[in-house]
Amino acid sequence: MQEHSEMALTKLIPKIFYADIAVGLKFFTEGLGFEQTYNDESLYIVERDEILLLLVIDEELGKADRPEIRIETDDIQAIYQEIKTNHPELLHPNLNYIKNQPWGLREFAVLDPTTVCVIFQQTID
C-alpha cells in the first residue's frame, strides 16, 4: 500500500437511492435509530454515532441499485438486541442471528423492503 504523508482518509459516506424516500427514511430512522439531520427536494442525510448516509430520491436508480452496506460496531450484541427487540421484521432471513464468520468477524444483517442490506460486524478478539 502506498504511503501518504500529511493526509488521511477519514470516512466513507454511502449514497443510497430510493424511488420512495419514505421507505428509506422509515428503515434507517425508525428501524435502525438514525436521525434525519438534513433534507431538501431530493437529498436526505441520516446519522447515528459516527455513521452518515445520504438517501437520494431517484426513481430509476432506486429500482436498480440495491447496495449492501457494512457498519462496524464495538458492541454487536447491543445493536442486535436493539433491532431484535424493536424491529425484528428487519432482520435478514439469511443472517438473522449473530454468526461468527471464518474471516474473523461476528455479523448479522438487516434488510429493507427494497432489498438494501445492512450488515453489522464486529471483529472477533
pLDDT tens sequence across 60-106: 999 998 999 999 999 999 999 999 999 999 999 999 999 999 999 99
Summarize the confidence of residues 29-50 as an average pLDDT.
97
Which residue matches cell numbers 431517484? 58
Q: Is the dihedral of CA 17, 19, 23, 29 positive or negative?
A: positive
Q: What are phi and psi of 89, to 5 degrees?
A: -65, -15
Q: Is the pLDDT of residue 59 over 60?
A: yes
- Pairing state of beta strands 43-48 and 51-57? antiparallel
- pTM (2 d.p.): 0.89
Tell which wins on pLDDT, 56 or 8: 56
Local confidence band at 9 (pLDDT 50, 70, 90 cut-offs): confident
The alpha helices in the chain, defined as continuous H runs, are 21-25, 59-64, 76-86
Which residue matches cell numbers 464495538? 74
d(CA 34, CA 58): 21
Write out the three cell numbers for 27.
428503515
- Pairing state of beta strands 15-18 and 51-57? parallel
Which residue matches cell numbers 445520504? 54
Write out the three cell numbers for 8.
488521511
